[in-house]
Structure 1
C-alpha cells in the first residue's frame, strides 16, 4: 500500500477547511480501478460539498473530476485495462489527489486526440452540457436557449455546443469582457446582467416571444426572472446553485406563466448508468476531437494551492475551466 497526496476536509467551512494529507492507496477490488492522476478538475459542486450544502460523511477526500492512467484493474472490469488513458466526473468525491481506487463504471477512455489537461477540464462541464442539450428536453436546430453564466466553464462549452448544432443561444455574463468571451465562443446574443435587465433583453431579442429553454446554473439570483423569459410550454432547467439554492416554487405560478415545465437536474443521475455514461463521454470527446468544442482553461493551480482556486471560483474571478496540476 502506497501513500498519495490528497486534499481532505475534516469539517465543513471555507477554503481554509481544505487540508493536504497523505492517504493510503491500495489495490482495486471487484468493479474498481486504481488511477494515477495527471490533472484534476475544479467545479462548483466541490464548493457545495466543502461548505456542507451537499453533505458528506467527514472526513472525506474532495474533488469530482480528473484524468490519468489506469494502474490496476479489479475483477469484473471489462471496458478498461492497465495503461489506458482515462477521465471521469463521478461519485464518490476524492479526485483531488495523486492516485486513488474508485468504481470503474463511470471511468471513460480518452481518445488519442484529447490530452490529459483537456480531458480533466471538460469532463464534468462537458457531460453537463451534453445532457442539457440532449437528454433533458427535446431541443432542435432553430430553437432558442437562454444560458446564464455563459462565460464560465460550462457556459463556454454550451456556447460552442449550441453553435455546432444550429441552436440560437442567448448568454448572460457579469461583465463586458465576459460577454465578449461568450460571443467569441458561439453565443448569438449576450446580455451583461450587471448593467442590463436580462428579461427585457431576451424579450427584445426574441421579438417578445421568449425562449424555448432556460439553462440556469446560477440559482437563487436568476430563477424567478428566468421564468419570465420562457415561451408558453417552455422548459426551465435548473442545474446549479452558484448564488444559492432556489426557494420553493408555487406550481400555480408555472401555470399562470404559460404551462411552464421545470426540472432540477444533476449530472450524476445521468451518468449513474454505465452504458449511458460511456455514450455521453464518447459524444463529448467526438465534439472535442472534431474541433467543435475547444476547452478554455482560464486558470491553473497546483494541487497544494486548491484553497486559492476555491476562492477564485467563489469570487467569480474565473473564466472558462480551472484545473489543478500535480
Structure 2
C-alpha cells in the first residue's frame, strides 16, 4: 500500500526557487529498504551543491541526505530493523526533504534513547563528517595546531568542540566579530575575522612562524592559496568543500616548494561506504553526543515547506550552526 507524503523535488538546477513542494505517493519499501517517517531533517551544504548542479544528480531528483525519525515499514531482506525503531541516516540517495521516504537500510543506524531526533538531524551528517576528517582522513594529535575555515558553520562548531576535547589548539576563521563569541564558546582558541585580518599572517603569529599541522578548508577558491601558506613543513590541507567556488588547477610543484605539503579532497561517501565504517563512525558520534563532547550549537529550525528559505539563508551566510527542517 502506498503512503501519501509531501516532498521537495527539482527537475532543473539553479537557485532555491527550483525546489518544488509536491504531493508524493511513497510505495512500500523495496528489498533492502526501510520506510521512515521523518521527525527532523538536516540541511547541509551538499544539498546546495546538488540543487545548483555543482554535484550533478540525475534529474528529476529529491534533495537532502540526512534525516531522523521512526521506521513505519520494512522491506524484504532487512533483518536489523523493525517497525517502531528510532533511526537516523546520513548519505545515500537524496530525498530527505520529505515527510516520509524509503531509504536503503544499509545507510540507516539506530538512535540511542538519549539522542533526540532534532539532535540527530543536527549532528549525524556533520558529526560523521568531522569524525572522518579529524580521526581518519588526517589523524589530529593532542598539541597540534589546527586551522578550520568557516568555524561558525554547523560542521565548524562541532569540529571546534571535538578538536578541543582531543587537546588540539584550534584556530578558526569567521566572517564577523559576533561569530567570534560563538566559536570561542564552542572550543575555538583563536578566532580570526577573515574580512578584517589576514588569516595567513594571524596563523603565522599564533604559531610563532611554524604553521599548523592541518588546515580544513570547505571554502575553496577564496582560501586555498592562503591555506597552503598556513601549513608547517609536511603539513596537510584537507579540501572538503567549495562554498566560494571550485579550486582552480595548480602546479603540483608548489607543494614541494612550500614544504613537501600534502593535499587531499575527501568525501564522506567514500569514508562511510562500507557498513562497518559507517557503524563505527556513527557510534563515535553518538558517544560524543551522549558524553557532551559535542552538542548542537546555534540550531536554526525551519518548517519543512520553508526549505527554499533555509537554502537562501545558508548561502547568504545569515546562519551559524546547524539548520534543520521540521515536517
Asked if these proteins are the same fold (TM beyond 0.5), I'd say: yes
Contact 1:151 1:173 in 2 (8 A): yes
Contact 1:106 1:278 in 2 (8 A): no
Q: CA deviation at 1:201?
A: 0.2
Residue segments in structure 2 that go unaligned for 5+ positions in a row: none
Q: Name 1:193's counterpart in structure 2.
A: 194
Alignment of 1:160-239 (within 5 A): 160-239=161-240
Distance 1:297 1:325 in 2: 16
Q: Name 1:59's counterpart in structure 2.
A: 60
Count the aligned residue pairs.
326
Q: Name 1:2's counterpart in structure 2.
A: 3
Distance 1:178 1:283 in 2: 28
Contact 1:148 1:155 in 2 (8 A): yes
Distance 1:15 1:76 in 2: 38
Superposed CA deviations along residues 21-80 of structure 1, whole A, max 9, x for unmatched, are: 011111112211111100111111111111111111111111111100111122232332
Q: Name 2:94's counterpart in structure 1.
A: 93
The residue matched to 1:75 in structure 2 has which SS? coil
Bigger mean CA offset, 67-76 vs 256-265: 67-76
Contact 1:297 1:323 in 2 (8 A): no
Contact 2:122 2:299 in 1 (8 A): no
The residue matched to 2:93 in structure 1 has which SS? coil
Q: Name 2:133's counterpart in structure 1.
A: 132
The residue matched to 1:55 in structure 2 has which SS? coil
Say whether residues 1:47 and 2:48 are aligned partners: yes
Q: CA deviation at 1:221?
A: 0.7
Bigger mean CA offset, 67-76 vs 126-135: 67-76
Distance 1:296 1:145 in 2: 20
Q: Name 1:277's counterpart in structure 2.
A: 278
Q: CA deviation at 1:89?
A: 1.0
The residue matched to 1:135 in structure 2 has which SS? helix
Distance 2:136 2:107 in 1: 17
Distance 1:267 1:297 in 2: 23
Alignment of 1:4-43 (within 5 A): 4-43=5-44
The residue matched to 1:141 in structure 2 has which SS? coil
Residue segments in structure 1 that go unaligned for 5+ positions in a row: none
Distance 2:32 2:202 in 1: 50
TM-score by length of 1: 0.98
TM-score by length of 2: 0.98
Q: Name 2:153's counterpart in structure 1.
A: 152
**What RMSD in Å do the two structures reach over aligned CA positions?**
0.9
Contact 1:126 1:157 in 2 (8 A): yes
Q: CA deviation at 1:91?
A: 1.7
Q: CA deviation at 1:209?
A: 0.1
Distance 2:110 2:118 in 1: 14
Q: CA deviation at 1:249?
A: 2.5
Distance 2:63 2:132 in 1: 24
Distance 1:73 1:273 in 2: 21
Distance 1:179 1:218 in 2: 18
The residue matched to 1:80 in structure 2 has which SS? coil
The structure 1 segments of at least 4 consecutive aligned residues displaced by more than 4 Å after TM superposition are none
